[in-house]
Amino acid sequence: MSEIIIETSNLTRKYGTKLSVNQLNLRVPKGSIYGFLGPNGAGKTTTIRMLLGLIRPTSGQIRIFNQEIAKHRINILRRTGSLVESPSYYGHLTGYDNLHVVAKLLKVPVKRIDEVLEIVRLTPAAKQTVKGYSLGMKQRLGIATALLGNPDLLILDEPTNGLDPAGIHEIRALIKDMPTQHGITVVVSSHLLSEIDQMATHVGIIDHGQLLFQDSIGKLREQSAPLLVIKVDKPDEAQQWLQANGYQVIIDGDLLQLSNIDVETTKSINKQLFQAGFSVYHIKEHRRSLEDIFLDYVGKEGSL
């Protein structure tokens, strides 16, 4: 069993009578990049704000580094870096000087500033004022700020929001290095499955405040196992015939669907159907994309 860095039990947050976060049991393994995925309004930011002690849960518990946040908030936050919503900077100061202000507050050695600038690849822009930074550079400065205190855990709320493809790529590359090169566990939220797919090792899918799926990205992919789709004349009879011959078949409209069929079996089914007098119009393998799976979880209204 790998060590769990964040564990919540029935974490719940209400606004009025509305349940923004509903009985969440998160498990974030050490060394993972945990993609926290959900459409707008799903409850991602509310959850993250609770993890960071910025708002209180209505009910439920949070344990981070095996400690109860209600009792050990300061200890936990000292080991946690975060980026929630757009961070604010002193625009008239340079990137370096902005980091210097925070380094003083956190009492971290000044040499750490150069290290974090290097990690987020802002060293060449360190002496420029932040008001001249692009959005992507500002986000990277935000991540640099989050890294100043040498955290064991990094929590990023939609860090690529509003960035262009190059900016998104930069941030993704940065995040991917965190566990392997810096020993940091990462929680990163997004409403884009494609983005999570490209960087996460683990996924939690949230919608309407509820956790609908949580496991490794591999387990999510397993659900995209191929389906064999066959179009025949007389689909009802063909279904019965195939079932009588030991195949599990479902009918979707006028199409037959079989799962877990390899290439050899496909050939044999095709031949047998023909010999039994059916006309096979087409036969193809259909692999559900991760996107399809995500939409199955969050419903079409959560469309990307």
User: Applying CB under 6 A, which residues contact ligand ATP?
Assistant: 15, 20, 38, 40-46, 191
β-partners of residue 15 are 18
Candidate segments 43-51, 122-130, 144-152, 220-228, binder of Mg ion by CB under 5 A: 43-51
* 3-class DSSP assignment, residue 95: helix
Which residue, 45 or 185, is less far from ligand ATP as judged by CB?
Answer: 45
d(CA 250, CA 239): 7
What's the closest the beta carbon of residue 19 comes to ligand ATP, in angstroms? 9
Which residue, 51 or 227, is less far from ligand ATP as judged by CB?
Answer: 51
Among 8, 32, 45, 214, binds Mg ion (CB under 5 A): 45
Q: In what order do the strands lie in the sheet with 250-252?
A: 250-252, 255-259, 227-232, 280-286
Which residue, 152 or 158, is less far from Mg ion as judged by CB?
Answer: 158
Cα dihedral across residues 112, 87, 194, 44: positive or negative: positive
Which residue, 264 or 301, is less far from ligand ATP as judged by CB?
Answer: 301
Give the 3-state secondary structure percentages of the chain, helix then strand then coil, rounded to 5.
Answer: 40, 30, 30
Alpha-carbon separation of residue 180 from 34, 175, 176 (angstroms): 14, 10, 8
Which residue, 42 or 62, is less far from Mg ion as judged by CB?
Answer: 42
What's the closest the beta carbon of residue 102 comes to Mg ion, in angstroms? 23
Which residue, 15 or 281, is less far from ligand ATP as judged by CB?
Answer: 15
Residues 6+ apart with CB under 8 A from 283: 228, 229, 230, 231, 266, 269, 270
Residues touching Mg ion, count (CB under 5 A): 2
What's the closest the beta carbon of residue 221 comes to ligand ATP, in angstroms? 23
d(CA 275, CA 120): 64
- The DSSP symbol for 129 reads B
Which does residue 43 bind out of ligand ATP, Mg ion, none, counting CB within 5 to 8 angstroms by kind? ligand ATP
Which does residue 151 bind out of Mg ion, ligand ATP, none, counting CB within 5 to 8 angstroms by kind? none
What's the closest the beta carbon of residue 304 comes to ligand ATP, in angstroms? 12
Residue 47 found at the interface with Mg ion (CB under 5 A): no
Q: List contacts with Mg ion (CB under 5 A).
A: 44-45
